[in-house]
A and B are shown apart, each in its own frame.
Chain A
Amino acid sequence: MTTLLQLEGVTRQFGGLKAVSGVDLSVAPGEVIGLIGPNGAGKTTLVNVITGVHRASSGIVRFDGEDVTGLKPFQAARRGIARTFQIVQPFPEMTVAENVAAAAMFAGAVRYGDEANAEALGHLRFVGLAEMADKRASSLTLAMRKRLELAKSLAMRPKLLLLDEVNAGLNATEVDHALSLIRGIAARGVTILIIEHLMKVVLSLCTRIVVLHHGELIASGTPQEIVQDPRVIQAYLGRRYAAGGEAAEGQSHG
């Protein structure tokens, strides 16, 4: 199996609007793919189609050799597709450890009880939240909540991890920390698809970048190829990045 995730002509319509239109994409195991594009390009919708939140209006989503197009989110989760949300979604009244244990037992097939708790603690240690394990999730700062999201998605034992703007709203130090975490996750062999507006993150992290514009995939290639692609520059990056040398600096709009 050389393809983990395969999208064939995936389209999602909302009324008359094609939020995602005829997207073909195949992701090999171990890849770290950056999904970029202007606001409203359909990035989150595409993630929602892959995870089963929205059903594809047409087209096929294949995961790990199986057709997963019509699956519900919980079924996709159990097959190894994990995602984090742009706006973090903890269980606010539960402890941090319980949040992660929930992911471990429902998607990761870990037994309820001590086993799930032990697993949760392991993931919390990895993301640096072990001391917060018994605190309520609602008491965490935004940066911590983002890390909690990461711990939760890891507890799901994913084959594919979809990260939807995990760095939005973080300061530079926090972004660096998140970056090293994501590298660590990739090093574990988890395939990652990351939606990100910070070009610094995308360029330093991704093995390949795909660009979505008006719901269509307009480019796909290595970071170097993408920053020089005239269509991408016009649609998203702006002329600032055309020089190439400064590509790794700063942040695009959004």
Chain B
Amino acid sequence: MRKSALLAAVLFLLVALVPLAGDAYWLRLGTTMLMYGVIAMAWNFIGGLAGYPSFASAAFFGLGAYAGAVAQKLGVPMGLAWTLAGALSLAFAALLGLALLRLRGHYFAIASLVVAEVLRELVNSATDLTGGGMGLNLPVPHDATVASQSEFFFYAMLALAAITFAAMLWATHSKLGFGLRCIQQNESAADMLGVNTTLYKVAAFMLSGAFAGAAGAIYASWVHYIEPPDVFDVLYSVKAIVMVLLGGAGSVFGPLFGAAIFLSLEELVWRNYLQVHTGVLGLMIVLLVLFLPKGVFSLRLPWRKGKP
């Protein structure tokens, strides 16, 4: 655990140097990577540790985005709005988890997939509060330049990624993570051994919701304008899963690396295949599930076999 923490600290410090070297393009790409890193890490709590294939990332992300945006529209300061958005997603995940986590496997996946659609329709129709299909504009600070803005949101996203990573590292090496691994491998047996499976699963879902929601709130402030199809996009759910599978489900660095690899591929390769890039996404998922269920880092690490 100490080694992972140290490695992560170095990694985050190196990433923090990006604004010194890079231009606006690199900042934007870096912020996007960190954001997806957070969403992937958030998914890892429920999907990687507990083994529940959640498609609720988009729901949490969108809810957080709208919660943060509405709060800011009502005059709440930005930092507080982000915190509130995270808290709201956390509470929402708790209620949702109590209802949905009774389902297992495919049933849970389908049920969680629908949540984002429901929220999108709700936001669409609550025109007074959210602007409905017109979208929602967020206040742009007058005293800031474009460059300082993008730097600010880069660091905000970096801070959130660091917090999320710390939470995940803690969870993985605590009784919570241990219980979740038990659930992932054999839920009935875990129940028989005294694991309060409902409590543990809901806790994992809450952590997942809180961080994905906070990422949504920062995203909303960053892009200044959100609309329902944008923030409740099912691709947030799908990409999070693909990223974690790429990096290695249940591992601490997997989600971050998976996000980086996935977005690099998207940037470097897919721009050349614009017409068929969703086809490439589908192909990647199929190949992943078939050949690398434990992620790209399982490719050539024979000496790590047998390690948890």
A150 to B256 Cα, complex, angstroms: 40
**Is A90 a contact of B197 with CB atoms below 8 Å?**
no
Stretch at the interface among A8-16, A103-111, A233-241, A242-250: A103-111
Interface flags for A37-54 (1: CB within 8 Å of B; 0: not) read 000000000000001010
A residues in contact with B264, CB < 8 Å: none
Binds A, one of B55-63, B143-151, B188-196, B268-276: B188-196
Cβ of B194 and Cβ of A156 under 8 Å apart? yes
Q: B176-220 toward A: CB 8 Å interface, digit per residue (1/0)?
A: 001101100110111111111100000000000000000000000
Q: Tell me, in angstroms, the Cα distance from A170 to B275 when the chains sit together.
A: 60
Instruction: Say if the beta carbon of B306 comes within 8 Å of chain A.
Output: yes
Q: Knowing A89-B192, A93-B308, A98-B308 are in contact, say whether A74-B178 is a contact too (CB < 8 A).
A: no
Min distance, Cβ A50 to any Cβ of chain B, angstroms: 12
B residues within 8 A CB of A108?
194
B106 at the interface (CB under 8 A from A): no
The count of chain B contact residues (Cβ–Cβ below 8 Å) is 20
The complex places the Cα of A168 from the Cα of B103 at a distance, in Å, of 32
Contact check, B308 vs A77: say whether CB atoms are below 8 A apart. Answer: no
Q: How far is the CA of A102 from the CA of B182 in the complex (A)?
A: 8
Do A106 and B194 touch across chains, with their CB atoms under 8 A apart? yes
User: What DSSP secondary structure best describes chain B's contact surface?
Assistant: helix
Considering the complex, which residues of chain B in the window 163-186 have a beta carbon less than 8 Å from any beta carbon of chain A?
A: 174-175, 178-179, 181-182, 185-186
- Apart from A92-B186, A94-B185, A102-B193, list 9 A-B contacts with CB within 8 A: A73-B188, A85-B189, A90-B186, A91-B189, A92-B185, A102-B195, A103-B194, A112-B178, A156-B194
Interface residues of A (CB under 8 A from B): 51, 53, 72-74, 77-78, 83, 85, 89-95, 98, 102-103, 105-108, 112, 135-136, 152, 156
25 A-B Cβ contacts within 8 A?
A: A53-B188, A73-B188, A73-B191, A77-B191, A77-B193, A90-B186, A90-B189, A91-B185, A91-B186, A91-B189, A91-B190, A93-B181, A93-B308, A94-B181, A94-B185, A94-B308, A102-B178, A102-B179, A103-B193, A105-B175, A106-B179, A106-B194, A112-B174, A112-B178, A156-B194
